[in-house]
């Protein structure tokens, strides 16, 4: 999980154009994979997380056989590591957007005067 977080946080932006919402979505998908699976299988993991073959190849190079192609997943280790995964988009100095779900409900854009914005869509308030 740590290697995935490091890849998404550091390496991915250097090689590809990726928005913060896409990064958070990838992190959330990777956490879900570890929570829902009993065993980590590198090829299965990269297929379920990364859509692009180029990104999968980059991830495989980044991990560079850092760990085995498959191993059993420990629920305790997953729980411990998930607290370090941030799903926050920090905007300027005074706004933070917490993303814990569907990234399709967030739109990113640029207004007429060049100011950037996020548009948040939701079904109901809680």
pLDDT at residue number 54: 92
Give the total number of structural domains in the chain.
Answer: 1
Residue 80 has a pLDDT of: 67
The verdict on residue 73 lying in a domain is: yes
Question: Has residue 107 been placed in a domain?
Answer: no
For the chain, residues with pLDDT lower than 50 are: none
Kindly state whether residue 120 falls inside one of the protein's structural domains: no
Helix residue ranges per DSSP H, 7-105: 12-15, 20-36, 42-49, 53-63, 75-82
Q: What does the pLDDT read at residue 122?
A: 82
Q: Is residue 54 part of a domain?
A: yes
Nearest to residue 12, comparing CAs of 44, 57, 48, 45? 57
pTM, 2 dp: 0.64
Range of the domain at 8: 2-86
Closest listed residue to residue 85, CA positions, set 44, 50, 39, 33: 33
Q: How far apart are CA 7 and CA 59, in angstroms?
A: 7
Q: What is the C-alpha separation between 44 and 42, in angstroms, rounded?
A: 6
């Amino acid at each position: 999980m740590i290697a995935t977080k490091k890849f998404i946080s550091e390496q991915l932006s250097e090689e590809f154009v990726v928005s913060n919402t896409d990064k958070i979505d990838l992190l959330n998908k990777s956490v879900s994979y570890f929570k829902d699976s009993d065993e980590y299988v590198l090829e299965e993991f990269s297929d379920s997380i990364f859509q692009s073959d180029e990104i999968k190849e980059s991830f495989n190079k980044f991990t560079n056989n850092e760990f085995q192609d498959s191993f059993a997943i420990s629920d305790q280790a997953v729980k411990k590591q998930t607290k370090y995964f941030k799903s926050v988009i920090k905007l300027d100095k005074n706004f933070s957007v917490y993303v814990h779900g569907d990234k399709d409900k967030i739109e990113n854009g640029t207004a007429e005067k060049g100011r950037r914005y996020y548009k948040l869509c939701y079904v109901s308030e809680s």
